[in-house]
């Protein structure tokens, strides 16, 4: 007869009257939301006294956090919280100096050798594991972009206590003030360049705790030791204003996102991992910003210009990231010229990469290609059932799907039903088509050209903490690009000039 336990969020919490659990039994039933989940053999064997178990109500997963990962996260958040208080005594000029120093150290070839050696080792280990290293390898462009991002922050004049509005009364006023938020938790995949992005929270007086993917941990250590820490010191900022959790485990990220000392939890990475982290934070009552699911859509109107179509498709497929073209949607009456233009754009992308692109098309739409010339470097896959919600992940071989609907309205409806509700581009010479896509497509990013413009540093001249889609609903009071200067709270400050004012 299995032992029954009901768990909502944590086991081993320090709540008065709640008995701690030092072990789990195989087959033990745990309540996750409205379902029972049984403890597996592996989980029962691994669970030790002091460990914590999170029962995710959204997915029914049981997540074990070791006592050591709990301690790492607690120390990191506590240190960053103390640094947040100290940061209020630092001048805006000192914060600007931090970014300048960080950029200078990144540009120093002697210092960068330490980072390069660590990065080469990380890349080698990742390749041995069969992992993608496209975003892990620090090349000249990534290094240059990091430097430029830091210098962007140094040049921005962003007051940490900005008076946004003043409401005047007889004998007293109320100021609406944008103020620092607190400690930001940041978990990201193996991309070293996000150091420059995430430290942007310091610009508006916040502190940050990092946890980076295991593939890039060596690189992160080198950047922290040889550039980040010296830059904080040189500018006179608190040593723990930026904290790296030095752990390769997923449990360290879960422990961080479950810590009540966080004001905001930000996650970037693969869809499943990000969704899991977001569920941990939400269940712990912490605000989240998630960046894990992408894949851009392009909707063609009947009047789309063929040359523009080819160009925009090509430039939307230059590399695989979240804003890369994933689905091109057209109606059944689309001209053969524009279908050909789409194929030509995909083929041009494949040519640039010296490969053959993969294109998924419904068999039911095959008749539309009768007068088209299929380029030799396109692998057209005629399929019975295509999952238009699937995001194609590719390293060097561009891959996407073509969708054909009855009209542009159906293309819009299909976008809302199957896309990650992220990026959509409308190609048309008819303004009514653009207005329709803007009104009806549930997406935070809408354009009329290539899809790869969606990026904080490229589009808004602000290094981004992350991009957010609308799959989980529209965002309250902010855009889909979360940048360092967007991390704030609102305070009210009353200033009374008449001592007789009362209610």
Give per-residue pLDDT as tens, 393-415.
998 999 999 999 999 999 999 99
Across the range 237-260, mean pLDDT stands at 95
Residue 228, sorted as left (phi over 0), alpha (psi -120 to 50) or beta, turns out to be alpha
pLDDT digit string (tens) for 174-193? Answer: 999 999 999 999 998 778 88
- pLDDT score, position 16: 54
Which residue is it, tokens 């000392």? 261
Q: What is the pLDDT of residue 17?
A: 54
* pLDDT at residue 350 in the model: 98
The model carries a pTM of 0.86
* Tens digit of each residue's pLDDT (9 = 90 or more) over 130-181: 888 888 899 999 999 899 989 988 988 777 888 999 999 999 999 999 999 9
Q: Are 249 and 112 in contact (CB under 8 A)?
A: no
Question: Regarding beta strands 35-38 and 264-268, do their DSSP bridges make them parallel or antiparallel, or are they unpaired?
Answer: unpaired
Per-residue pLDDT for 375 more than 90? yes
How far apart CA 370 and CA 309 sit, in angstroms, is 20
Query: How much is the pLDDT for 4?
Result: 42
What is the β-pairing status of strands 52-55 and 288-291? unpaired
Which DSSP symbol is given to 261? T
CB 177 within 8 A of CB 492: yes
* Residue 14 banded pLDDT, cuts 50, 70, 90: low
Domains within the chain, CATH numbers bracketed? 4-65 (no CATH), 69-293 (3.40.605.10), 296-459 (3.40.309.10)
pLDDT tens per residue, range 439-495:
999 999 999 999 999 988 889 887 788 888 888 788 888 888 888 778 899 999 999
pLDDT on residue 334: 94
**pLDDT attached to residue 18:** 57
The yes-or-no verdict on residue 282 having pLDDT over 80 is: yes
The two structure tokens encoding residue 312: 């925009």
Contact 419, 389 (CB under 8 A): yes
- Is the pLDDT confidence value at 9 over 90? no
CB half-sphere exposure, 154, CA atoms < 13 A = 19
Residue with the larger pLDDT of the pair 160 and 326 = 326
Map residue 1 onto helix, strand or coil. Answer: coil
């Amino acid at each position: 007869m299995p032992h029954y336990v009901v768990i909502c969020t944590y086991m081993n919490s320090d709540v008065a009257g709640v008995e701690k659990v030092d072990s789990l039994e195989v087959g033990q039933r745990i309540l996750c939301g409205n379902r029972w989940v049984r403890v597996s053999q592996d989980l029962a064997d691994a669970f030790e006294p002091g460990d914590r178990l999170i029962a995710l109500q959204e997915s029914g997963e049981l997540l074990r956090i070791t006592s050591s990962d709990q301690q790492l996260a607690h120390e990191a958040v506590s240190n960053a919280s103390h640094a947040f208080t100290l940061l209020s005594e630092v001048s805006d000029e000192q914060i600007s100096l931090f970014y300048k120093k960080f950029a200078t150290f990144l540009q120093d070839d002697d210092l960068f050798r330490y980072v390069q050696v660590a990065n080469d080792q990380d890349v080698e280990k990742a390749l041995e594991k069969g992992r993608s290293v496209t975003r892990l390898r620090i090349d000249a462009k990534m290094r240059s972009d990091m430097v430029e991002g830091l210098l962007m922050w140094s040049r921005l004049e962003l007051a940490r206590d900005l008076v946004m509005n003043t409401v005047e009364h007889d004998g007293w006023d109320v100021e609406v003030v944008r103020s620092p938020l607190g400690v930001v938790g940041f978990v990201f995949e193996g991309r070293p360049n996000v150091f420059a992005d995430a430290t942007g929270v310091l610009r508006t007086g916040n502190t940050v705790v990092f946890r980076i993917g295991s593939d890039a941990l060596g690189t992160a250590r080198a950047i922290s030791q040889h550039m980040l820490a010296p830059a904080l010191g040189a500018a006179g900022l608190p040593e723990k204003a930026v904290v790296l959790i030095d752990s390769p485990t997923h449990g360290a990220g879960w422990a961080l996102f479950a810590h009540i000392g966080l004001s905001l939890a930000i996650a970037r990475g693969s869809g499943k991992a990000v969704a899991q982290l977001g569920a941990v934070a939400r269940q712990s009552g912490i605000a989240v910003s998630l960046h894990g699911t992408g894949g851009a859509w392009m909707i063609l109107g009947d009047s789309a210009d063929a040359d523009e179509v080819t160009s925009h498709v090509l430039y939307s497929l230059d590399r695989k990231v979240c804003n890369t073209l994933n689905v091109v949607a057209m109606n059944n009456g689309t001209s053969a010229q524009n279908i050909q233009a789409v194929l030509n754009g995909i083929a041009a992308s494949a040519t640039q990469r010296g490969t053959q692109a993969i294109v998924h098309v419904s068999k039911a739409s095959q008749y539309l290609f009768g007068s088209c010339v299929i380029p030799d470097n396109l692998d057209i896959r005629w399929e019975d059932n295509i999952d238009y919600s699937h995001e194609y992940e590719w390293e060097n071989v561009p891959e996407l799907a073509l969708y054909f609907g009855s009209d542009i309205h159906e293309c819009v409806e299909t976008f809302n039903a199957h896309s990650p509700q992220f990026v959509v581009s409308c190609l048309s010479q008819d303004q009514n088509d653009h207005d329709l896509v803007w009104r009806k497509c549930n997406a935070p990013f809408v354009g009329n050209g290539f899809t790869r413009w969606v990026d904080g540093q490229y589009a808004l001249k602000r290094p981004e903490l992350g991009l957010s889609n609308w799959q989980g609903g529209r965002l309250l009071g902010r855009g889909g690009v979360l940048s360092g200067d967007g991390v704030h709270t609102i305070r009210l400050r009353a200033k009374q000039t008449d001592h007789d004012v009362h209610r």
